[in-house]
Amino acid sequence: MFIDVLTIFPEMVDLVTGWSILKRAIDRGLVTIRAVNIRDFAADRHRTTDDTPYGGGPGMVMKPEPVVGAIEYAKGTRPGRVILLSPQGERFTQAKARALSGENHLILVCGRYEGIDERIRAFVDEEISIGDYVLTGGELPAFVVIDAVVRLLPGVLGNEASTEEESFAGGLLEYPQYTRPSVFRNLPVPEVLLSGHHAKIQAWRKEMALKRTKKRHPALYARYLREKEGAGHDG
């Protein structure tokens, strides 16, 4: 996979991609992540990427020329899906991460300031939001998308089964996990996990996942029940 991050702060990309799973994925050739500096496509000698909004109002708006120029540059190297990180976009989910992991080239556009010139949206395939709040720029949401997507690529985690039992993977939050010691400050590991009885362990994990999802994420739990009921009708 190839990922372009279009930003006016390309140094941020190096900071995030130089660690842990992302770095290992890059070193092993499973993904290439490139920072594209939007300022390089500005038309003036000051490399201006923003201006005051027509009609007045607070803040500055990102100009269309440098942003679209950066998009066209990224698409010119190889065909790709252009995604604008925006609070107005579709809510990012695990299902969306899995869908994007099937793409060959992602072009992530990071806005700044008060917003972007509306005409930039004509050059974007979709918009993604990581939540109902406003950040100072699209870089942090872009890094969230990158991390969630790259870890789903074949070979990145080593054990492909590890992504199948995570939260949201099967429509539920993940069950509780434990490791050594078996008792920590009078808090024991549930006996079923020490039993070696795999069928009982799987049943316990499913029960705990259901209970945890119902308590902590009622909307997700309700959706899980609806989908399960729908699958039953289809059968």
Task: State the helix-helix crossing angle for 198-216 and 218-234, rounded to 10 degrees.
Answer: 120
CB 93 within 8 A of CB 118: no
Single pTM value for the model: 0.85
How many helices (DSSP H) and strands (DSSP E) are in the chain? 8, 10
Q: What is the pLDDT of residue 161?
A: 47
Superfamily of domain 165-234 in CATH is: tRNA(m1g37)methyltransferase, domain 2 (1.10.1270.20)
H or E element, residue 111: none
φ, ψ for residue 81, nearest 5 deg: -95, 120
The CATH fold of domain 2-150: Alpha/beta knot (3.40.1280)
Q: Write down the domain spans for the chain.
A: 2-150, 165-234
Q: What is the pLDDT of residue 31?
A: 98
Q: What is the pLDDT of residue 58?
A: 87
pLDDT per residue, tens digit, the chain (235 aa), is 999 999 999 999 989 999 999 999 999 999 999 999 999 999 899 999 999 999 998 889 999 999 999 999 999 989 999 999 999 999 999 999 999 999 999 999 999 877 899 999 999 999 999 999 889 999 999 999 999 999 999 999 976 645 555 566 678 999 999 999 999 999 999 999 999 999 999 999 999 999 999 999 999 999 999 998 887 666 5
Structure tokens at 91: 């809510």
H or E element, residue 127: strand 126-129
